Amino acid sequence: MTCLWGAACRARPGPSVLSVAAAADLRFALDELASEFRGAHRDVDLRIAYGSSGDFFAQIQNQAPFDLFLSADIEYPRRLLRERIGVPDSLFVYAVGRIAVWVPSASMLDPATALESPALRHISIANPQHAPYGRAAEAALRSLGLYDRVGNKLVFGENVSQALEFIQSGAAETGIVALSLVLAPPVRGQGRYWEVPLAAYPKMEQGGVILKDTPAARQFRSWMLSPAGARVLQEYGFSLPG
C-alpha cells in the first residue's frame, strides 16, 4: 500500500464473521436463505455449522464460539438463557418442524404403510437422546401404535440429516426424517414420502437465540423472521409460528 502526503495507512476493515450453529433439518432451507443474506450483506462473513441441536447445546454450554444458535427445539435456547448464556431479549421462534416417512425411488414400499411391512429390517431415525427430530419420530411411532413392533428395528443417526443418509445409502429401508430435507431439490427426486399427521407427535417449535450481541447476529435473526425468510422456510415444508 502506498501512502501519499504522509497520510497514515489504514487497512480497510474486513467483513465481520457471523458463526451460526444450526439444526441439521435446516441444511437446505438455510443454505438458500443464507445465500440471499450474503447477497444483501456483503460485509458479513456468514459461517454455518449443521448438526444435532442437543450436541450444539452441550458445546455452547462449554463455551463453543458461536454467535447464533438455531435449534430444532425451542427448549434448548430457553435452557441456555436460564443458565445466563446468550442475550436475554433475543429468543425467537422461527418455524414449526414436521416429519415424514421417506423411501428411495427404487423401493417397492409405499411410504404410507412402509413402517408396517413385515419385511422391514431397519428403520432410520435421529438419535432421540439429543436430536429433537428423533424424539418426534419416537413419539409418532408410539402414537401410531407401532413402537412395540418396530422398536428393535430402529437405527439412529447422530442427527436427522444422517438419518436420511442411512436410507439413501441402503443401511435402512425407510425412516422418519424432517419434511424439510425430503422436499429439498437434491433429495426430492430421489424418493417418495408420507407426511406423518401433526397430531401424532408434539408440536415442534423451532427457535433460536443470539449468543453474542453483534449487529450481524441481529441482522440475520431479522432476515430469518422477515417475509423473505418465511417464504423460504415454507417452501421447505416448515409451518410458520403462530
Residues annotated in a binding site for molybdate: 53, 160
Give the span between the Cα atoms of 178 and 7, in whole angstroms: 57
Residue 123: partners with Cβ closer than 8 Å, 6 or more residues away: 115, 150, 153, 154, 155, 172, 173, 174, 175, 176
Q: Which residues define the annotated binding site?
A: 53, 160
- Cell 414400499, located at residue: 109
- Cell 443401511, located at residue: 171
Provide DSSP, 228-242: HHHHHHHHTTPBPP-
Give the span between the Cα atoms of 124 and 116, in whole angstroms: 14
Instruction: Characterize the bridge pairing of strands 44-51 and 16-23.
Output: parallel
- Helix locations, 89-154, DSSP H: 132-143, 147-150
CB 179 within 8 A of CB 164: no
